[in-house]
Amino acid sequence: MDFNKDLDARGLNCPLPILRTKKTLNEMASGEVLRVIATDPGSVKDFAAFAKQTGNELLSSTEGNGEFTFFIRKK
């Protein structure tokens, strides 16, 4: 999937992946896509909840090799 910006949140634990994501989205334009890679297993539910509450769209959430990848489109 194409994306405009990349955020490496590997090794970070709750709530840092969400906080860094929010900060990065603030610097992006509406409609742009952010890719986030995290290793915190709690991030799967957290990113879904973040998207639901902020209106940013979670395009995909996948897991592989202990890493979680999220694509988020800015509202």
Among 8, 11, 27, 41, binds other proteins (CB under 8 A): 11
Q: Parallel, antiparallel, or unpaired for β 67-73 and 33-38?
A: antiparallel
**Distance (Å, whole) CA 62 – CA 12:** 18
CB of 61 to other proteins, least distance (A): 18
CB closer to other proteins out of 17 and 71 = 17
40 and 13 Cβ atoms separated by less than 8 Å? yes
Concerning whether 14 is annotated as a catalytic residue, the answer is yes
Is 45 one of the binding residues for other proteins (CB under 8 A)? no
**Distance (Å, whole) CA 1 – CA 16:** 24
Site residues (CB under 8 A) for other proteins?
11-16, 18-19, 21-23, 39-40, 50, 53-55
Residues that are catalytic: 14
